[in-house]
Amino acid sequence: MRHPLRFLRRVGPLGMVGMVGLIIGTPLTFLAYPLVLGFTVITYVGVRLIGLDLPHWVVLSSLVTAVLGNALMIIVSGIAATRRYNWRIGVFALLNPLYWCLHAYAAWRALGQTIFSPHRWEKTPHGISEDYESTAHV
């Protein structure tokens, strides 16, 4: 969003809120993922956290929602990858929970770098160009 006012005029207030929500919500989701996952596991195994005593139906419905949500995302990713490529690629959708953990790690790392070394830029080279110099030694 290089020109926010121009973008606002083009998409309207609701579109602007949606875009800002998407941009801010994505990293916030990955920052929250390990906290929510940890809280869910701790609560399910019966550890009382900060004096919070949740009813059994809340814990159970949260667990069912988490399992079904993860299963649905794996299924959707698997179907999309299988349709676009083949089943040999689609089977990797089973690794989606690991992928989300890696995203969470990256989000927390980025937050730490933003706070403690804001001028550091870990740029990933995409493609090889004439001025690209590899630091890898083969």
In this structure, is residue 72 part of a structural domain?
A: yes
DSSP string, 39-55: HHHHHHTT--BTTB---
Residue 81's pLDDT is what?
92
Whether pTM > 0.75 for this model: the answer is: no
Average pLDDT over residues 21-27: 93
Residue 135's pLDDT is what?
61
Average pLDDT over residues 24-46: 86
In this structure, is residue 63 part of a structural domain?
A: yes
pLDDT over 90 (residue 111)? yes
Cα–Cα distance for residue pair 34/100, rounded to 1 Å: 9
Q: Which amino acid is at 50?
A: I
Domain count, the chain: 1
Q: Where are the beta strands (DSSP E) in the chain?
A: none
List of residues 6+ apart from 89 with CB closer than 8 A: 81, 82
Cα–Cα distance for residue pair 5/23, rounded to 1 Å: 17
In this structure, is residue 70 part of a structural domain?
A: yes
Average pLDDT over residues 101-127: 86
List of residues 6+ apart from 103 with CB closer than 8 A: 30, 33
Cα–Cα distance for residue pair 66/36, rounded to 1 Å: 10
pLDDT over 80 (residue 109)? yes
In this structure, is residue 62 part of a structural domain?
A: yes
In this structure, is residue 102 part of a structural domain?
A: yes
In this structure, is residue 73 part of a structural domain?
A: yes
Range(s) of the domain holding residue 111: 27-47+56-116
The proportion of the chain whose per-residue pLDDT surpasses 70, expressed as a percent, equals 86
54 near 43, Cβ under 8 Å? Answer: yes
The proportion of the chain whose per-residue pLDDT surpasses 90, expressed as a percent, equals 51
List C-alpha distances in Å: 113 to 27, 108, 110, 116.
Answer: 14, 9, 5, 5
Residue 24's pLDDT is what?
94
Q: Which residues of 31-69 are buried (b: 16+ CB within 10 A; e: fewer)?
A: eebeeeeeeeeebeeeeeeeeeeeeeeeeeebeeeeeee
Q: What is the pLDDT of residues 38-93, one digit of tens each?
A: 887 787 776 766 667 778 888 788 888 888 998 999 999 999 999 999 888 889 99
In this structure, is residue 123 part of a structural domain?
A: no
Residue 107's pLDDT is what?
94
